[in-house]
Structure 1
Amino acid sequence: MTARPGTSDQVAPGPAPATPRRRRPADRRRLIVDAAAKAFSDGGYHAVRLEDIADAVGISAPALYRHFPNKYALFAETTAVLAASLRAALDAVPEGGDGELRTLLEAMTLASFENRRTGGLYRWESRYLEPEDRAIVLDVVVHQHRRVRAAARRLRPDLGEVDANLVVAAMTSVAASPTTHRASLPAREVTTLIPDAAIDLLDAALPEPAAPREPAGHGLVPSAKREAILTEAVILFADRGFRDVTIEDIAHAADLPASGVYRHFPSKVAILEAAFRRATDRVTTATSDALASSTTPREAIMAMVHRYVQLSCSSTELISVYETEIGHVTPGARAELRGQQRITVEEWATWVGRERRDLPLTHARFLVHAALNVVTDLSRLKPQPAPERIEALSTRILLGDNS
C-alpha cells in the first residue's frame, strides 16, 4: 500500500545528506598564475586587482595572499613561468641540422598560439619588472634569438651580422604574432602558415644597411593647447608610464596650469584615449591614401606598407604607449579601438587575398597581423633600422616574394 501525503503512513524524512566537502585543488598556485597571466595581459599590470584574479580562480582574496604576498610577486612569477615555458619549448628542439630552424619556429609559433591570452606580458617586462626578475625574461629572449640566428645562418651562411640580426628579429616577431590578435584558424594551419612566412624572410631582398639611425627628436610641439597637451602627454607616458604621470606633470610640460589641461580634457584617461584615437585615425588615413594612389592590389599592398612603416617609425613613443598602456582606457574606448584595428586588418587582408588568389582570407588575416607586428617590433629597436628595410621584410610576408 502506498502512503499518501498527510496520513500517518507517511515516512518521516531522514537527515539531509551532508554537503560534499570541497577539495582544494592540488595545483591551486598554478591556477592562480594562469588566471593572473590572462588578467595582466588583457588589462595591464596596474588595472588588475588581486581580488579579480581570486574571483577568476574561485577562491577568496585571503587564500590568494597565502600564495603571493602582493601583486608584484604574482606578476613576477607569472612572467617567469611563461619565460620558462618558452625556454622548455626551445630546448626540446635538437640543435644542428637543416631542419632546426623550421622546428624552432614551429615550436615558437605553437607556444604563441597556445598562450594567445597571455602574450601581452612579454611586451611589458622592461617597464614593470625589477632588474633581477627582468633578467630572467631577458635571458630567454637572448637565448631564443641566438638559437634562431645560428640555425638561420646555417641555411644562409652569406648573411652578415647586421642582416642576420634584423631577419631573426623579424622571424621572431612573426612567430609571436598570434599573441597580438584573436583571429580564428586551426592550430595545425597556424603552425604551418606562420613558420613558412618566417622562414621566407631568409630570402627577402634587403636594401643595403645604412649607418645607424640617430634617435629622432621630439620636434616642435604644436602651438594649439589641445595638441600640445596630447604631444607632451604621450612623451611623458612613454618615458615614465601612464600611472606615474600626473595632470600637473602634463600641464608643466605643455607650459600650462593644471586648470588649462582640464579645460580640454576631463581626466588623464581622456588624454590617453584621445591620443589613441588620433593614432587610429592616422592609420585609417594612411590606408585610404595608399589605396587612392594605387591601381592594382599589389600596388595597394606596397603603398599601405610604405605608409604604415613611415608612420610607425616616426611615432615610436605613441606605439610604445599603445602597446603597454591600453589597459588604462575605459572598456568602451578599448572596444572602439580594437574594432577600428579589425577594420584595418580586414582591409589589408582583402587586398592580400586579391593579389594572392590561392590564399584563403583566414590565412591572409594572420599574415597581415604578422606583417604589422614586424613593423611595430622593428621600428622600436635601438638603433632603429632604416624604414626601407622594415618595409622590405613586412612586404615579403604579405606578398610572398620580393617586390
Structure 2
Amino acid sequence: MTARPQTSRPETGARRRRPADRRRMIIDSAAKAFSDGGYHAVRLDDIAEAVGISTPALYRHFPNKYALFAETTAELATGLRGVLDTVPEGTPAELHALLEAITATSFDNRRRGGLYRWESRYLEPADAAIVRDVVVHQHRRVRAAARRLRPSLSEDDANLVVAAMISVAASPTTHRAALPPREATALMSAAAIGLFDVVLPEPTEPGPPTVTGLAPAAKREVILTEAIELFAARGFRDVTIEDIAQAADLPASGVYRHFPSKVAILEASFWRATDRVTSAIADALAASTTPREAIVSILAAYIRLSSSTTDLIAIYETEIGHTTPEARAELRNQQRITVDEFATWLTRDRDELSLSQARFLVHAALNVVTDLSRQSPPPSPERIEALAMRILLPG
C-alpha cells in the first residue's frame, strides 16, 4: 500500500489569524478618517481597506456607517471624561492637573480630535447628548477649579477664560506641527494656565448695527456671499444649488454659469478666506517696524477678520472635508505658510522659543480666536485679543 503524500501545512506562526482587537482597529481607523475627511466624505470601503479587511467583514461589527460614527464619537468623548475624572477635585493643583490632562489627551488624539469638534453635528439627538455632556462636564470642572483659586473672577469672565484655556489645551488636534509629546504637553498646558490671571477689558454693550456699505452687484460675488451664509447656517451637505440660486435671485443655470458645482463654490469661499488672511498679514507687517509690533499687528488684524467674517471662518473650520483632496492639500499648505510667517516673527521676539514651539503657540492663539469668535454672543475683539496675546507674549 502506497502511502499518500502529506499535504504541507503552514507553521503555526505563519497562519493568518484574526486580530483579537479588530473592532478596536476599525474604530481607530474610522476616527482618523472621519476627523480628516468628514462624515459624509468617508466610505466604509475606505475604512475596511485601512484596517485590511473586507467591507462585509466590517459589517459584522457595525451595521452601517452611522453606527460606526456614533460609537467612535462616543468613545472619544467618554475617554476624555474618564481622564478628567482621574483628577482629584478640590485640591490646589486641580486646575493645572485638569489642563495638563486635557492637553495630553488632545495630543494623544491628534488624528482623531476633529471628530467631535467638527463632526458631532451629524449625530442624532441621543448620541449628540453624550458629546455635549462631556463638553459641559469639562467646562464645569475647569471653571470650578479656576474660581476656587480666583474667587474674584466673575461668572462671565470665568466662562470666557475657561473657554480659552480649554481651546489652548485642545489646539493640538487642529494641526500637525511636530513636537515631542512631553514637550508639547508642557508647552500647551503652561500656555493654558497662563491665561488664569489675564486682565480682561470690561465687556461692552453691543452698539447699533454698523453701516456695512453696498453689497457687490456682480453675480459671482452675490452667489459666493449667499452660499457662505447658507453653508454656515445649514451645513454644506444640506444646501443645494437651487437653494443658493434662490438666495441669489437667480435660476440654477445662472449659478452654473459661474461655478461648475457646489464643491467649486465651497472651494472658492475657502480661497477667499485664505486670501483675506494673507492680505491682512501683509498689511500688518507693512505697518510694523519690530518683531513685537508685527506680532501685535498680525494678531489684531486676524481677530478683526475673524470677528467680521464669522460665517466664512466657521465653514472653513467645519466643511473643509467636502473639498477635493487636491484643493484641501493646497489650502492646508497655505495655512502652514501663514502660521510659519507668524511663528517666525514670534521667534525673533522670543529667542528662547524654537520654531516648532512657536508654531504650537501660534496655532493655540489662532484656535482661541476662532473658538471665541464663534460663541453666541461673541466676546468683544478686545477681550479675545487680551487672551490670545497672553499666549504669544506672556511677559
TM range (shorter): over 0.9
Q: Partners in 2 of 1:47 and 1:321 — Cα distance?
A: 16
User: Of 185, 191, 208, which aligns to 1:197?
Assistant: 191
Are 1:225 and 2:219 matched, yes or no?
Answer: yes
Q: Corresponding residue for 2:168?
A: 174
User: CA-to-partner distance for each residue in 1:255-306, whole Å, 9 max, x for gaps?
Assistant: 1111111111111111111110010000000101111111111111111111
Q: Partners in 2 of 1:216 and 1:89 — Cα distance?
A: 45
Are 1:110 and 2:74 matched, yes or no?
Answer: no
User: Of 339, 359, 378, which aligns to 1:384?
Assistant: 378
Are 1:88 and 2:82 matched, yes or no?
Answer: yes
The offset of 1:127, in angstroms, is 1.9
User: CA-to-partner distance for each residue in 1:133-153, whole Å, 9 max, x for gaps?
Assistant: 111001000110011111111
Q: Partners in 1 of 2:71 and 2:212 — Cα distance?
A: 36
User: CA-to-partner distance for each residue in 1:78-132, whole Å, 9 max, x for gaps?
Assistant: 1100001100110111112211111111110010001000111122355211111
Q: Are the aligned partners of 2:39 and 2:119 in contact in 1 as well (CA < 8 Å)? A: no
User: Of 277, 290, 293, which aligns to 1:283?
Assistant: 277
Name the amino acid aligned to 1:210. T
Q: Corresponding residue for 2:8?
A: 16
1:278-357, aligned counterparts within 5 Å?
278-357=272-351
Q: Are the aligned partners of 1:125 and 1:134 in contact in 2 as well (CA < 8 Å)? A: no
Q: Partners in 1 of 2:211 and 2:129 — Cα distance?
A: 29
Q: Are the aligned partners of 1:54 and 1:64 in contact in 2 as well (CA < 8 Å)? A: yes
Distance 1:180 1:215, change over 3 A: farther
Q: Corresponding residue for 1:44?
A: 38
Distance 1:169 1:218, change over 3 A: farther
Q: Corresponding residue for 1:8?
A: none
Distance 1:353 1:21, change over 3 A: same
Q: Partners in 1 of 2:246 and 2:335 — Cα distance?
A: 33
Q: Partners in 1 of 2:101 and 2:248 — Cα distance?
A: 48
User: Of 240, 265, 268, which aligns to 1:271?
Assistant: 265
SS across alignment from 1:107: helix
TM-score of the superposed pair, with normalisation by structure 2: 0.95
Q: Corresponding residue for 1:6?
A: none
The offset of 1:310, in angstroms, is 0.8
Q: Partners in 1 of 2:213 and 2:66 — Cα distance?
A: 36
The offset of 1:379, in angstroms, is 0.3
Q: Partners in 2 of 1:351 and 1:368 — Cα distance?
A: 11
Q: Are the aligned partners of 1:90 and 1:108 in contact in 2 as well (CA < 8 Å)? A: yes
SS across alignment from 1:202: coil
Name the amino acid aligned to 2:104. L
Figure out how many residues of one structure are paired with residues of the other and give that number. Answer: 390
5+ residue gaps, structure 2: none
Q: Partners in 1 of 2:89 and 2:126 — Cα distance?
A: 29
Name the amino acid aligned to 1:226. R
Q: Corresponding residue for 2:205?
A: 211
Q: Partners in 1 of 2:327 and 2:23 — Cα distance?
A: 33
SS across alignment from 1:118: coil
Name the amino acid aligned to 1:25. P
The offset of 1:33, in angstroms, is 0.9
Q: Partners in 2 of 1:123 and 1:96 — Cα distance?
A: 28
Q: Corresponding residue for 2:50?
A: 56
Q: Partners in 1 of 2:148 and 2:213 — Cα distance?
A: 43
Q: Corresponding residue for 1:71?
A: 65
Q: Are the aligned partners of 1:212 and 1:383 in contact in 2 as well (CA < 8 Å)? A: no
Q: Are the aligned partners of 2:35 and 2:119 in contact in 1 as well (CA < 8 Å)? A: no
Q: Are the aligned partners of 1:251 and 1:260 in contact in 2 as well (CA < 8 Å)? A: yes
Q: Corresponding residue for 2:131?
A: 137
Name the amino acid aligned to 1:37. A
Q: Partners in 1 of 2:88 and 2:278 — Cα distance?
A: 45
Distance 1:380 1:331, change over 3 A: same
Q: Partners in 1 of 2:300 and 2:282 — Cα distance?
A: 13
Q: Partners in 2 of 1:88 and 1:79 — Cα distance?
A: 14
The offset of 1:367, in angstroms, is 0.2
Calculate percent identity across the aligned residue pairs: 74
Distance 1:332 1:59, change over 3 A: same
Q: Corresponding residue for 1:256?
A: 250
Q: Partners in 2 of 1:54 and 1:283 — Cα distance?
A: 38
Q: Partners in 1 of 2:207 and 2:40 — Cα distance?
A: 34
The offset of 1:317, in angstroms, is 1.1
Q: Are the aligned partners of 2:99 and 2:189 in contact in 1 as well (CA < 8 Å)? A: yes
Q: Are the aligned partners of 2:120 and 2:131 in contact in 1 as well (CA < 8 Å)? A: no
User: CA-to-partner distance for each residue in 1:196-249, whole Å, 9 max, x for gaps?
Assistant: 101111122210112368999998642110001111111111122111211111
Name the amino acid aligned to 1:189. E
Q: Partners in 1 of 2:169 and 2:158 — Cα distance?
A: 16
The offset of 1:18, in angstroms, is 3.8
Name the amino acid aligned to 1:135. A
The offset of 1:338, in angstroms, is 0.4
The structure number with the bigger radius of gyration is 1
5+ residue gaps, structure 1: 1-11
The offset of 1:17, in angstroms, is 2.9
